Amino acid sequence: MVGGAAYKPGLENTLRLMAHVGNPHEHLRAIHVAGTNGKGSTSHLIAAALQASGLRVGLFTSPHLVSLTERIRINGVPIPEAKVADFIEQNRAFLDELQPSFFETMTAMAFDYFMHEKVDIVVVEVGLGGRLDSTNVLTPILSVITNIGLDHTEYLGETLAQIAREKAGIIKTGVPCVIGESHPQTMNVFLNKARECGILGDGLETTNCRIWFADQCGYLRSRRLHEAPDCELKGNYQEQNLQTAFVALKALQYSGFKIPKSAIKEGFANVCRLTELRGRWETLKNKPLTICDTGHNSHGLQYVARQLKELDTSNIWIIFGMVNDKDTDVVMHLLPTNQQISSNKKYHYLFTTPNTQRARTAQEMLQMWLTIHPNEKDFAIAIDNPIEAIQCAQTQAKEEDVIFIGGSNYLVGEALKLYQ
């Protein structure tokens, strides 16, 4: 099982697995990153700046786009396939007995690999939620929560406050914490948890402060002073991740880490090169301009939709697919339509079926789209095979047009394989 269906709430399996392989999580200096969206980009930004500081940095993220080895990296280099095979073979009997989930196994493998490779520091992205996620066996040196949105509500809760309580589960006693976005429905959840953990402070400039809301401090002021670093990630939504990563790095500096301003600048400017981050408003081809993005729920796709509307071109060809546990109906209302614009710009939708058993079919997507937007029937088709959908758009698009591929990590993964 994959996705939410593979979610095993609770840490018992993970703790047994960790004990079997020597409790590697107890030997790691870790930065723990949770959130509904942006936790992958934020993790890579932090890792890149630490790497530019001269540290050997382990990075554990999910999901992967092409190869599962992408999930476990040291200074941007994926774990060798031979190491993956060795871990499974050496622990096969115990794994057969315990029957851990795929993610529990990958978490143990990552921590074991980082421990044996003697990395200086690791950046660990939460898989799902926080409180009961396998990665939460860690006691980190810094906790980071990027934002809270309505995703995986069947597992985490139906309100922002309920979901925030699950994410706040990574906040530990005495461990500094950075919250990416302050929100009236979630702020008190984080403040109460911080008070419980003894880290409640009153601002980034206060020496005893242990919790910071990133959208209320450091990065925004630095932008006004023209000191904020440029970033290789070009999606408009990345500004929020930049400010979260920036304040997280400041929090590490306050804890005694030597992270030069030049390292933050270099890390942000070269985050994709340093960490091999893929799929974030990434240009795959220039003529026609072909872009992919891994935004896959309404909280993330609202920013993608806004950026699609801002593109300066006459025709935008959108290859789009989603999985069935996402808020597809909400997304359908967010995406741009030809009825919403007064210019000559045209949006052409090619709905497709991502390569996973959890996918909504292309026909389902098309039917939902036309039910909501009946006047769009001349600008939308269904092509079941993702590669055929991309090739169809390539055939029809002119050099000055734009092709966008997104809605699902699985679909972006197919695009990356095709274009590379």
Residue with token string 């723990």 = 32
Q: Which pLDDT score is estimated for 205?
A: 44
3-class DSSP state of 77? strand
pTM across the whole model = 0.91
- Exposure of 43 by Cβ count < 10 A (0-12 exposed, 13-18 middle, 19+ buried)? buried
Strand partners, 58: 74, 122
3-class DSSP state of 326? coil
φ, ψ of residue 303 to 5 degrees: the values are: -75, -40
Report the alpha-carbon distance of residue 48 to residue 270 in Å, rounded. Answer: 8
Q: Which pLDDT score is estimated for 216?
A: 84
Weakly modelled stretches of the chain, pLDDT under 50: 1, 3-5, 203-207, 219-226
Which tokens sit at 84? 């993956």
Which tokens sit at 410? 């699985």
Q: Which pLDDT score is estimated for 226?
A: 41
Which tokens sit at 150? 């309505």
Domain annotation for the chain: domains and CATH numbers: 3-275 (3.40.1190.10), 282-419 (3.90.190.20)
Q: Is 174 left (phi over 0), alpha (psi -120 to 50) or beta?
A: left
Q: Which pLDDT score is estimated for 10?
A: 75
CA angle 75, 78, 79 (to 5 degrees): 110
3-class DSSP state of 114? helix
Report the alpha-carbon distance of residue 247 to residue 143 in Å, rounded. Answer: 12
Q: Which amino acid is at 298?
A: S
Helix axes 39-52, 261-269, angle to 10 degrees: 130
Report the alpha-carbon distance of residue 49 to residue 261 in Å, rounded. Answer: 9
Residues 6 or more apart in contact with residue 246 via CB below 8 angstroms: 214, 218, 219, 222, 228, 229, 264
Q: Which pLDDT score is estimated for 150?
A: 76
Report the alpha-carbon distance of residue 243 to residue 179 in Å, rounded. Answer: 10
CA angle 119, 122, 124 (to 5 degrees): 150
Report the alpha-carbon distance of residue 241 to residue 42 in Å, rounded. Answer: 5
Contact indicator for 111, 119 with CB cutoff of 8 Å:
no
Report the alpha-carbon distance of residue 191 to residue 409 in Å, rounded. Answer: 33
C-alpha R_g of the chain: 21
Q: Which pLDDT score is estimated for 8?
A: 60
